[in-house]
Structure 1
Amino acid sequence: MKAAACPTPHSSNSIASIFISSALVFMFLLFTWSCSEGNPDTEKEEETGEIEEMEETGYNYPEGKIFFEYPPMDLNGVSFYEPMGSMGVFPQDHGGFIHFEYGVDEPTTPVYAMADGVIVELGKSGDDFFMTVKYSTTISTKLGHVGRFADFILNQTNPVIEGSPLITEIEVKSGQIIGYISSFSALDIGVHDLDLESSKSFCYPELAFFENLYAADIFDYYEDSNPVKAEFLNKNIRVLEPYGGKNDYDVKGTISGNWYIKDKFEGKDIFTNYFAIGYHHIYSQRIAIADGLPRHDPDTEDTNSYSNSWIKSNSPKPEEVDIAFGMVKYELVAPVDLKRNDDGTYELNSLDGVDDQVPRGVFLMQMVDAETMQLEFIADKTVMEVEEFTGNQRVYVRNPDYE
């Protein structure tokens, strides 16, 4: 697989799209999706997805990009759509429909096939189920927090057991009911397009989870003439393009993007190996960080840490902090949540006063070379009280195999 080039701060590279046979399907080792803010104490990022070869079924998949005709669920039952990119181990590859049947014992809101296609995977995670539907030679969707599958699916498969996803070949028609939402707060959906790898800004694509590498903006797969797109956009909580969110912020030679801790790296499924700096998935103008190292102590009442924070005053932009910039001192402040209305809908909160918060502390960050960054968090200080690294800084690399 050809790796995508990592862009520089002032240029971008283009690499020809790769060809992957329509005989490939996706399989998760474990599926643990959530549409929360990526709290490392309450959730684990989705596990790597493996590609498994499968004999041709004879289904005549359309070539390349197609457009969806239906939403994955009835939009009347949706409070809002949360786009992909929630900051975590990697900014998440999927978005989610926050719905009104949260906590209901057996929700009745249906899940639809978005176009003609084939269900190629069924799985279970906790009390919920997930499924993968393949729509073309390059495009599939992963649906998470499905409450139950439609009867016609259950009649054609063995029982779905947690940790043992079933590879299936069940054809579906556009708009057909394929399941029902769960009582979890959201129906998660990730759109994955195999043609996108060359356009994603991961310095080392081979280190990305499969779903992150091919994550697509769902709104790019509805035609403007389809009234579903306008209705769907009206449910979207994000107001700036790309409306479906973004999950790739690597910029070569700068602090921007995803980092792996050097020397102590224990595998890419371990949250504490990561640090990321990019932009918030909803308040998309705000610089956000996710630090996997600090862990909440369950014996204390303090559940708030700096792990997920915004940058006070929102400057300088991480894609501008390179070797020549030297050390940057960022004050961290708490992110702003959404405002919940009495009718169960949500809206953006005002950002007035967000930069007036007392900082959680200071992050010192500095590029050592094009592949290496050092950082240190100093709690309960301001930039005026911090001069330099104390000797307790951590060292991160773009590639844990980098020497």
Structure 2
Amino acid sequence: MKAKTRLTTHSFSNIFISLTLVFIFSFSTWSCGKDDPKEPMKEEMEEEMEEEVGYNYPEGKIFFDFPPMDLDGAYFYEPMGFMGVFPQDHGGFIHFEYGVDEPTTPIYAMADGVVTELGASGGDLFMTVKYSTTISGKLGHVGRFANFILDQTEPVIEGSPLDVEIEVKSGQIIGYISPLSALDIGIHDLEVADSKSFCYPELAYFENLYAADIFDYYKDENPVKAEFLSKNVRALPPYGGKNDFDVKGTISGNWYIKDKFEGKDQATNYFAIGYDHIYAQRIALLDGLPAHDPDIANTYSHSWIKGNNPKPEEVNVAFGIVKYELIPKRHVIKNPDGTYELYALDTIDDQIPRGVLLMQMLEPETMQLEFIADKTAMEVDGFTGNQRIYVRKPDYE
């Protein structure tokens, strides 16, 4: 795996632009024009995946022949697992043609299949390609669809995705990247749900529950796999990332605030702790309250743990209170010579913490937490009375 990726003449002019691109990728979500992102319901989507539409889909697992996009057009690939409302179910390519008026970098069908969905959201397009009876790929931040697709459909309207049946061949150009953001790609496999660690799978979106490691769908002898891996910024397996961190009876994984903040979006009522999607050994967390509430001044919502200990999967009811000192998470470095590389983390824990996050398991499926800003663990004795109570399975109406 390459430690650095050379940029071309299309390189960003400064780090601000590159970080903006990363921000857009990291917080992007699949949009189907619904108020509730869980609609259509998971069961309905499963039925649609299993329906026969006249195309002779191969059964079960298949292997891809082509990458999702022209790899020469990508700086790097960022795997799934970025902490969000459920760790993110898809990865994405940071590409050279950000801000270009009409990008020409192609998007490919990764194997023979059928385009089953076309949509528009936020100024970009998205599409779903079904490859087998159990496997589909969803592409977000598509700039434009290939002409042969447009010739077979009605106009795509924002918020009203189209159900289509357009056959495609392996390696066929099906679209082009967007100048507005990274190209997102999520692989969804109906056969991987049993391997996930979600305590309550019914709380997961369809895409979360069936998110699969894209690199598992390329054979080792296929040279595309090695080239694709060379663009990947994650150095440890699973190379395509991980989006399930629930460990029953511990603080690890997904949590919902017990007494819902009325009038706030779903993310505000959410907390997750697991591991970073790029630096897989680092404990990472998302606190939805400061991330989505402009009235809260601190910026600890996305953080790492100073000292990287104790591991969240080891913190149970018997453990008692854990004092996590929070430090900023890291992404990648843009060097003056026009390359990207991972941070060397040997001195990362030397920095002054943002504050202390107190966490305690009260019962096997209930915990409390409180963030105390601008303090160290030695300066914090315990909860101050401002803690919030979280549960694994909320009783929201």
TM range (shorter): 0.7 to 0.9
User: In structure 1, which of residues 362, 374, 378 is the aligned counterpart of residue 372 of structure 2?
Assistant: 378
- Report deviation, 1:44: 6.3
Partner residue in 1 for 2:275:
279
Give the AA of the match of 1:144: G
Q: Is the 8 A contact 1:138 1:195 kept in 2?
A: yes
The correspondence of residues 64-83 of structure 1 with structure 2, limited to 5 A, is 64-83=60-79
Query: TM-score, with normalisation over the residues of structure 2?
Result: 0.87
Spell out, residue by residue over 1:351-388, the C-alpha distance to the aligned partner (whole angstroms, 9 max, x if none). Answer: 13211111111111011111101111111111111111
Q: Is the 8 A contact 1:38 1:86 kept in 2?
A: no
Q: Is the 8 A contact 1:45 1:89 kept in 2?
A: no
Distance in 1 separating the partners of 2:24 and 2:179: 19
The correspondence of residues 3-402 of structure 1 with structure 2, limited to 5 A, is 36=23, 47-48=37-38, 50=40, 51-52=44-45, 56-264=52-260, 270-295=266-291, 305-342=299-336, 344-401=338-395
Relative to structure 1, the CA distance from residue 219 to residue 260 in structure 2 (aligned partners, 3 Å threshold; closer, same or farther) is same
Q: Unpaired segments of 5 or more residues in structure 2?
A: 1-20, 32-36
**Secondary structure of the residue that 1:232 maps to in structure 2?**
helix
- Report deviation, 1:295: 4.7
Give the AA of the match of 1:243: Y
Distance in 2 separating the partners of 1:87 and 1:183: 24
**When the two structures are aligned, how many residues end up with a matched partner?**
365
Spell out, residue by residue over 1:274-330, the C-alpha distance to the aligned partner (whole angstroms, 9 max, x if none). Answer: 000000100111001100011577699x7x600000000000000000011111010
Distance in 2 separating the partners of 1:228 and 1:349: 26
Q: Is the 8 A contact 1:37 1:87 kept in 2?
A: no
**Secondary structure of the residue that 2:148 maps to in structure 1?**
helix
Partner residue in 1 for 2:9:
none
- Report deviation, 1:224: 0.5
User: Which has the larger helix fraction?
Assistant: 2
Q: Is the 8 A contact 2:268 2:293 kept in 1?
A: no
Supply the RMSD in Å over aligned alpha carbons: 2.2
Q: Unpaired segments of 5 or more residues in structure 1?
A: 1-33
Give the AA of the match of 1:36: F
Relative to structure 1, the CA distance from residue 392 to residue 373 in structure 2 (aligned partners, 3 Å threshold; closer, same or farther) is same
Spell out, residue by residue over 1:232-269, the C-alpha distance to the aligned partner (whole angstroms, 9 max, x if none). Answer: 01111000000000000000000000000102166996
- Report deviation, 1:56: 3.1
- Report deviation, 1:349: 1.3
Query: TM-score, with normalisation over the residues of structure 1?
Result: 0.86
Distance in 1 separating the partners of 2:94 and 2:335: 14
Spell out, residue by residue over 1:52-86, the C-alpha distance to the aligned partner (whole angstroms, 9 max, x if none). Answer: 55563210000000000000111111111000001
Give the AA of the match of 1:308: H
Partner residue in 2 for 1:20:
none
- Aligned-residue identity in percent: 75
Spell out, residue by residue over 1:125-170, the C-alpha distance to the aligned partner (whole angstroms, 9 max, x if none). Answer: 1111000000000000000010000001001101101110000000
Distance in 1 separating the partners of 2:167 and 2:83: 35
Distance in 1 separating the partners of 2:146 and 2:222: 26
**Secondary structure of the residue that 2:356 maps to in structure 1?**
strand
Distance in 1 separating the partners of 2:58 and 2:371: 50
Relative to structure 1, the CA distance from residue 81 to residue 268 in structure 2 (aligned partners, 3 Å threshold; closer, same or farther) is farther
**Secondary structure of the residue that 2:331 maps to in structure 1?**
coil
Partner residue in 1 for 2:16:
none
Distance in 2 separating the partners of 1:298 and 1:327: 29
Q: Is the 8 A contact 2:273 2:283 kept in 1?
A: yes
**Secondary structure of the residue that 1:198 maps to in structure 2?**
helix
- Report deviation, 1:35: 5.3
**Secondary structure of the residue that 1:272 maps to in structure 2?**
helix
Give the AA of the match of 1:338: V
Distance in 2 separating the partners of 1:200 and 1:297: 30
Partner residue in 1 for 2:11:
none
Distance in 2 separating the partners of 1:298 and 1:132: 34
Q: Is the 8 A contact 2:286 2:303 kept in 1?
A: yes
Relative to structure 1, the CA distance from residue 310 to residue 109 in structure 2 (aligned partners, 3 Å threshold; closer, same or farther) is same
Range 208-217 or range 43-52, more displaced: 43-52
Distance in 2 separating the partners of 1:71 and 1:206: 31
Distance in 1 separating the partners of 2:388 and 2:293: 21
Give the AA of the match of 2:385: G
Distance in 1 separating the partners of 2:269 and 2:324: 21
Q: Is the 8 A contact 1:253 1:323 kept in 2?
A: yes
Spell out, residue by residue over 1:157-210, the C-alpha distance to the aligned partner (whole angstroms, 9 max, x if none). Answer: 011011100000000000000000011341100000000111000000000111
